[in-house]
């Protein structure tokens, strides 16, 4: 089976003479995998996610997603790639507070040019599946942290991306709510969604991923499978 994500000898420097944020990293992620990325602050976790998402470009090496060389795409190509191939979830939700829950979810579909009727149908399915349908016309500020993260997940999934990237998705949530979001991510992976999660939480990584890599000083220090829970 071809890999969905392939990083080959990737280095990223932000300062020409500084220590690289990532240093000769090679990594492959198969379709349907759930991968957790761990490591201390400054180890390169978010840089790795940004390179895969096409939010940043490597200084050296190759980044491919779904057969596309992300590092070689034009700015227009990168925007199209992010809209259609990748969904992103952030620690602090990144919702637009002056738009309703439904409009937040619909926004990526509108930007991707999805027909309005199809987008609304898809958004409705996600609202129901994530148990936030009753909040469709509410504004994010009126929701709990867990509810806002569910909205963010729905927004990330509305275009049916091949790859879902999550950067500390439970970091701003209490323990119980974080468990709920972790279970939700696990359910998504069980349904076939490829998932890469950056987390500082070893319990989340062990319970809701199938493989954990650990970055130290911009390099892969370990890469190990996690036993599947019964």
> What would the DSSP string read from start to end of 158-182?
TT--SEEEEESTTTTS-HHHHHHHH
The DSSP element (H or E) to which 118 belongs, if any, is helix 116-129
Asked whether the beta carbons of 167 and 9 are under 8 A apart, the reply is: no
Q: What is the pLDDT of residue 33?
A: 95
Dump pLDDT digits (tens) for 92-111: 889 999 999 999 999 999 99
Query: pLDDT 10s per residue in the chain (230 long)?
Result: 589 999 999 999 998 777 899 999 999 999 999 999 999 989 999 999 999 999 999 999 999 999 899 999 999 999 999 988 999 999 888 999 999 999 999 999 999 898 999 999 999 999 999 999 999 999 999 999 999 999 999 999 999 999 999 999 888 888 888 888 888 898 999 999 999 999 988 888 888 899 999 999 999 999 999 876 54
The angle at the Cα of 131, spanning 91 to 49, to the nearest 5 degrees, equals 25
Q: What is the CB neighbour count within 10 angstroms for residue 203?
A: 13
86 forms beta bridges with: 163
């Amino acid at each position: 089976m071809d890999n969905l994500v392939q990083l080959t000898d990737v280095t990223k420097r932000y300062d020409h003479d500084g220590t690289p944020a990532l240093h000769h990293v090679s990594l492959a992620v198969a379709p349907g995998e759930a991968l957790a990325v761990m490591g201390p602050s400054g180890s390169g976790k978010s840089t790795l996610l940004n390179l895969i998402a096409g939010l940043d470009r490597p200084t050296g090496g190759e980044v491919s997603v779904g057969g596309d060389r992300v590092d070689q795409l034009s700015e227009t190509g990168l925007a199209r790639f992010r809209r259609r191939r990748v969904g992103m979830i952030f620690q602090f939700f990144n919702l637009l507070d002056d738009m309703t829950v439904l409009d937040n979810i619909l926004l990526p579909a509108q930007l991707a040019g999805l027909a309005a009727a199809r987008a609304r149908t898809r958004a409705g399915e996600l609202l129901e599946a994530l148990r936030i349908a009753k909040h469709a016309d509410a504004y994010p500020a009126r929701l709990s942290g867990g509810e806002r993260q569910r909205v963010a997940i729905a927004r990330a999934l509305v275009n049916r991306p091949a790859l879902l990237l999550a950067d500390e998705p439970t970091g701003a949530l209490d323990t119980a709510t974080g468990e709920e979001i972790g279970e939700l991510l696990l359910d998504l992976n069980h349904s076939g969604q490829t998932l890469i999660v950056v987390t500082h939480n070893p319990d989340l990584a062990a319970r809701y991923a199938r493989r954990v890599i650990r970055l130290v000083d911009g390099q892969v220090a370990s890469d190990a499978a996690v036993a599947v829970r019964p």
